[in-house]
Structure 1
Amino acid sequence: MTPPNAVPPQDATTPQDAMTPQDAMTPQDLVIRMLPPFAGWLALAALALPGGSPLRGAAVAAFLAVGPGAALVGICGPALRARRAEAPVERRDPNFERHSDLLERLMLAVLLSVSAAMLVATVLIAAHAFSGDRVLLTLTLLTTLAAFCPRLRASPPTPSTAPGTAPRTRKGSTL
C-alpha cells in the first residue's frame, strides 16, 4: 500500500507535465499581460469625451503608440529572453544586458504598434470602411486576442548554441 502523499513514479510512456513551476502565471504576470488590452478599452471609452479633449487624445495616442506592439512582444517574450544581449569588451555599464534588452523590447513594441495600426488602416481603406473609431476598435480587439494567446517558448539549445559555447552571430550584429 502506498502512502497518500507519495508521488507515483514516472515511466517512459507517461508524458511529463507540460507546465513547470517556472511557467506558472502569477497574479503580477496576469496584470502585466492585461495592461495593453485595458489601455485599448480605456482609449475606446475615451472616445465618449468631447472631440478636443486632451485626455481623449492622450489615451488614444498612448494606446496606438505601444498597446498592440506590447501585446505582440508579450507573446514572444520568452523567445526574446532566451538569447541575451552581449556587452562590449570594455564594460562601462554593469547592467548593459538588462538595459539593452529592455530598450530592444520597447522599440519593438513601438514599431509593431505603428505597423499594426498602418496595416489595419490600410485594410479598412481597401474595404471602404475606414474610420478612426473602427481602426481603434479593431486594434483593441486584436490586442485583447494577443493578450490571451499562449507565450512562445524558447527553442532548446542546439549543439552550436549550447551553454558555454559562443553563438555564431551576436544578437544585434549585422553578421
Structure 2
Amino acid sequence: MRPQSLAIRLLPPFAGWFAIGATLLPAASPLRAAPVAVFLLAGPGAAVLRICAPAIRRHQAVGPAESWDSGFARDSERLEQLVLMVFLSVSATLIGATVLMAAHAFSGQRVLVLLTLLTMLAACCPRLRSRTRTARASSPPQKGSPL
C-alpha cells in the first residue's frame, strides 16, 4: 500500500478524532462547531464510499445524446459521489443517534465517538471488487413470450 493511499484512507477517522478533540473548546465557539459539522456531513460517508466505489463505478452515467459536453461523465460522477457521501454520512449520524437514544445513552460526544469508531472500521475494510460484465449471447424470444 502506498503512503499516499494510506493517508487518504485514514483521513476520515482522523477527522473524527479531530472533531472529538474540538469538543473540548468552549460551547459557542465556531472552532468547535466547524470540525464537528464537517465530520458529521462527510466523514462516515467518505469511508463507506471508499469501500463501495469500484462497485458504483461499474454503472457509468449516460451522457446526453449530443457530444457538446465532453466532461459530462466525469463531472456527473464527482457530483454523484459528493451527494452520496453527504447522504451516507447523514444517514449514519441519524442511525447512530437513534441507537443511542433507544439505549438511553444519547449525548453528542457519544455520537461522535460511535461514528468515529465506525469510520475507523470502514477505513480498515477492503474495497469491494467490481464485477466485470460478461457478454451473453442473445437468444431470440420464445414463441408466446411477451418480448
Q: State the alpha-carbon separation in 2 of the partners of residues 27 and 81 from structure 1.
A: 24
Q: State the alpha-carbon separation in 1 of the partners of residues 84 and 30 from structure 2.
A: 27
The equivalent residue for 1:144 is 120
Greater RCO (CA < 8 Å, at least 6 residues apart): 2
**TM-score, scaled relative to structure 2:** 0.88
Q: Which structure has the highest helix share of the two?
A: 2
Identity value in percent: 60
Q: State the alpha-carbon separation in 1 of the partners of residues 67 and 43 from structure 2.
A: 34
Q: How do 1:63-102 and structure 2 match up within 5 A?
A: 63-102=39-78
Per-residue CA shift, 1:98-137, capped at 9, x if unaligned?
Answer: 1111111111100000000000000100000000100010
Q: Are residues 1:121 and 2:97 paired? A: yes
Q: How do 1:17-28 and structure 2 match up within 5 A?
A: 25-28=1-4
Structure 1 residue 81: deviation in Å?
1.7
Structure 1 residue 60: deviation in Å?
0.2
Q: Which amino acid aligns with 2:58?
A: A
**TM-score, scaled relative to structure 1:** 0.75
Per-residue CA shift, 1:50-105, capped at 9, x if unaligned?
Answer: 11110110000000001100100000111112232121111332111111111111
The equivalent residue for 1:7 is none
- 1:109 counterpart SS class: helix
| Alignment root-mean-square deviation, CA | 1.4
Q: State the alpha-carbon separation in 2 of the partners of residues 86 and 73 from structure 1.
A: 21
The equivalent residue for 1:157 is 133
Structure 1 residue 35: deviation in Å?
1.1
Q: Which runs of 4+ in 1 moved over 4 A?
A: none
Count of aligned residue pairs for this structure pair: 137
The equivalent residue for 2:17 is 41
Structure 1: gaps of 5 or more residues: 1-24, 163-175
The equivalent residue for 1:52 is 28
Structure 2: gaps of 5 or more residues: 138-147
